[in-house]
A and B are shown apart, each in its own frame.
Chain A
Amino acid sequence: MTEQMSANPEEVDRRKFLTGIIGVVAGAVAVVVGVPTVGYLVSPGVKQANAEKWITLGPINSLTPGVPTGFPFSRSIHDGWVESSQTGVAYALTYDGQNVLVLSDVCTHLSCRVTWHEDRQEYVCPCHDGFFDIAGKVVSGPPPKPLNPFQSKVENGQIMILLEA
């Protein structure tokens, strides 16, 4: 093969041109393959499941005024290709038998589950010694925020909470 080297280095010779074409095509392939790959990997994490649902916890007249009571609840969810259920516990508290405060038992530190300790009148998180008072405010320990309250209502004597997503 005889190849004529161009005297002017600025001039694009055949070899340089072909190298450039290969580079452009390889770059295009990288984008065409790379973009779907990123979408493929992240899509289950960024998909918004806009499911809001009111869940019934139980009758309000089962509560002792001034004592938080834990209500286990569960609901069915789509876990990828599996129909599974999500369970949790919500603590309901009433003083007057009409208005109710419902707190999530998920610790605001690192999402362990807190439990109400009647003897010390505190919610206790066992993972890193987080303590919350009866209204959910942080007493001591690492939690940065109070316990999250559920949006709640009382219908026909039943306590209901709104679960999001």
Chain B
Amino acid sequence: MAIPPSPESGRGPRVYGWLNERLGLTTIYNSTLARMVPKTDWFYTLGSAAMILALLQGVTGMLLTIYYVPTPDHAYDSIQYIMNDVMFGWLIRGMHHWGATLLVIVVFLHMLKSYFAGAYKYPREITWLTGGVLLLVVLVMGFSGYLLPWNQKAYWATSVGTAIAGAVPVIGPLLERILRGGQEIGAVTLARFYGLHIWWIPIIVLGTIGVHLYLVIRIGITSPPERDE
């Protein structure tokens, strides 16, 4: 945690003072970590929990790309390699696997709390809307990631999931073929789900979290509702 600069001599404070003058570290600290918040309860930690989990998914996901190969002939074997041959591979993949489930749960609970606390009201509508986008995007993340192990469960879950898109009136069959990148689930499907999973969605997530957090800091969080006299 940053410490406000003091006029004392010594190298630490001098280095901090030099950086602070140029970067405005104290201003950042005061407006983020040291900002005033209303008296809250444990439900107000769900947002931070979701952010930490998202961060963890990012880091473990980046580590998995070191070995994972998104092609039908290598996907399954490369994951077996991660699980059995790479040191702590089971741990990194396990964290990504369970972290994904936990993230969906925590984001959903965070949404429930915001709803029951009335946090979607003026002036926090955009915080609420970006949160809604983040919930949907996390679900897309879960769906696209589910195919990547390329085992039976992955294959058939994606078969069912894309077939649901096919039930849309009129454009359904076209939508299904676009999702799959063809008639069947195969190499093209795996590659596009991977690209979606590691590039497109994460960048959308980063941007949306940026707006969401900016608004949390700019407007502040809402007080828990109180009973009127």
Chain A positions near chain B (C-beta within 8 angstroms): 1, 19, 22-23, 33, 36-37, 39-44, 47, 80-82
Q: Is the CB of B88 within 8 A of A81?
A: no
Between A and B, how many residue pairs show CB distances below 8 Å?
44
Q: Which chain B residue has the least Cβ–Cβ distance from A83?
A: B77
Q: Which chain B residue has the least Cβ–Cβ distance from A43?
A: B87
Q: A80-B81, A81-B81 are in contact. Are A40 and B87 (CB under 8 A)?
A: yes
Q: Is the CB of B88 within 8 A of A40?
A: yes
Collect the chain B residues with CB atoms within 8 Å of residue A40's CB.
63, 66, 86-89, 91-92
Q: Is B23 an interface residue (CB 8 A)?
A: no
Collect the chain A residues with CB atoms within 8 Å of residue B39's CB.
1
Q: Is the CB of A80 within 8 A of B78?
A: yes
Q: Is the CB of B78 within 8 A of A41?
A: no
Q: Is B159 an interface residue (CB 8 A)?
A: no
- Minimum distance in angstroms from B135 CB to a CB of chain A: 26
Q: Is B15 an interface residue (CB 8 A)?
A: no
- B63 is contacted by which of A1, A22, A23, A37 (Cβ under 8 Å)? A37
User: Chain A binding site: helix, strand, loop or mixed by DSSP?
Assistant: helix
Q: Is the CB of B1 within 8 A of A22?
A: yes
Q: Which chain B residue has the least Cβ–Cβ distance from A41?
A: B66
**Complex Cα gap A82–B73 (Å):** 10
**Complex Cα gap A39–B81 (Å):** 15
Q: Is B67 an interface residue (CB 8 A)?
A: yes
**Complex Cα gap A159–B210 (Å):** 67
- A81 is contacted by which of B59, B63, B80, B92 (Cβ under 8 Å)? B80
Q: Is B74 an interface residue (CB 8 A)?
A: yes
The 27 listed contacts between A and B (C-beta, < 8 Å) are A1-B39, A22-B1, A23-B1, A33-B59, A36-B92, A37-B59, A37-B63, A37-B88, A39-B87, A40-B63, A40-B66, A40-B87, A40-B88, A40-B89, A40-B91, A40-B92, A41-B63, A42-B87, A43-B85, A44-B85, A80-B67, A80-B78, A80-B85, A81-B74, A81-B80, A81-B81, A82-B74
